[in-house]
Chains A and B, each alone.
Chain A
């Protein structure tokens, strides 16, 4: 389940996150800035075909929250 977020995080930051967990904070642990967070939304849309609103992305700072959002919108685990 963490593979997809790990992949788009690596694509955005250029480095593989060493220990991605549900509690990993995209800003405080991985240093993603607001553009990188927006970019995360774009990558989620491409990979999971799920549209996250700007307001949802603003609050989805943890990997687990994004996974929950994707699951809620798709009704199953992201591919």
Chain B
């Protein structure tokens, strides 16, 4: 990435190092999550990440679901636990509201299509806007990445100490990353595993492929380098001519990774506020 928005850069960090022909960018200053502009603009040189607290929206679920299409309402109704339905409605309503701001379109008017591995994209008239987006959620937080004319993938996970990380790492992260993970002190393994998992998820989501994608596909998106970087430190960026993969600073207890097609962009991060609700700070 070229940098983070200069209005949001309180500190500077240390540069990182990587092997395998992959460049490690000078570590960018930490992101500051700031209030969103009323009418955000998408452009090829910028990538925006929005953070949504799924439990803070005070709107009744019925009001949120009024923004959704029939299929989304049906999906919401299927969840067996009420809080999953609620969080789904908040997330989808926020996605529509945010994309509607970029497109100057009513949230309920947006239509989506889904790729073969579940990656959503804008459909209809908005499909020619150049806007690409990706969504991830874990527990009470959701992230939405918005870009223009480039693919993005994002993943967030709440750090859980009880995950069977050894088994999952061996099967999903590959032998090198799994071995390196297991060599870490036990207390460092859960957050390192979560950073690796987020890296893989962000990469496969940017590519629009499934978790079982072939190693050649993943290597093209620098996944092995990203995994090794993720094992080493909470904050990192790896770049090639085709992809940039970066850790995002986020609330304690969560990890998040952003994968972006290309490397020349500026990143800005916003906290989503429910329309009509005054912002607390």
Contact = CB atoms under 8 A, between A and B. Distances in A.
Contacts of B88: 31
A42 B164 contact: yes
A51 B163 CA distance: 17
Contact of A39 (B75, B164, B201, B210): B164
Contacts of B79: 28-31
A28 B164 CA distance: 23
Nearest to A27: B118
Contacts of A75: none
B78 A55 contact: no
Interface size class of B (residues with CB under 8 A): 20 to 34
Q: Is the interface of A mostly helix, strand, loop or mixed?
A: helix
B172 interface: yes
A35 interface: yes
Contacts of B168: 35, 38-39, 41-42
Interface residues of A, number: 25
Nearest to B162: A11
B81 A38 contact: no
A53 B81 CA distance: 29
A30 B172 contact: no
Contacts of A19: 80
A30 B211 contact: no
A54 B80 contact: no
Contact of B81 (A15, A25, A54, A55): A15
Contacts of A45: 167
Interface in A10-35: 13, 15, 17-19, 25, 28-31, 33-35
Contacts of A77: none
B211 to A, nearest CB: 6
Given A19-B80, A33-B138, A39 B163 contact: yes
A73 to B, nearest CB: 15
A25 B78 contact: yes
A58 B210 contact: yes
B201 to A, nearest CB: 6
A46 interface: yes
A55 B212 contact: yes
Contacts of B211: 34, 38, 54, 57-58
A28 B172 CA distance: 22
B80 A35 contact: no
A33 B78 CA distance: 15
B185 to A, nearest CB: 22
A13 B239 CA distance: 35
Given A31-B81, A34-B211, A58-B212, 13 more contacts: A18-B80, A19-B80, A25-B78, A28-B79, A30-B80, A30-B84, A35-B163, A35-B197, A38-B172, A39-B163, A45-B167, A46-B164, A58-B211
Interface of A: 13, 15, 17-19, 25, 28-31, 33-35, 38-39, 41-43, 45-46, 53-55, 57-58
A-B pairs with the 3 shortest C-beta distances?
A42-B164, A55-B212, A31-B84
27 contacts: A17-B80, A19-B80, A29-B80, A30-B79, A30-B80, A31-B81, A31-B84, A33-B137, A34-B211, A35-B163, A35-B168, A35-B197, A35-B201, A38-B172, A39-B168, A41-B167, A41-B168, A42-B164, A42-B167, A42-B168, A43-B164, A53-B171, A55-B212, A57-B211, A57-B212, A58-B211, A58-B212
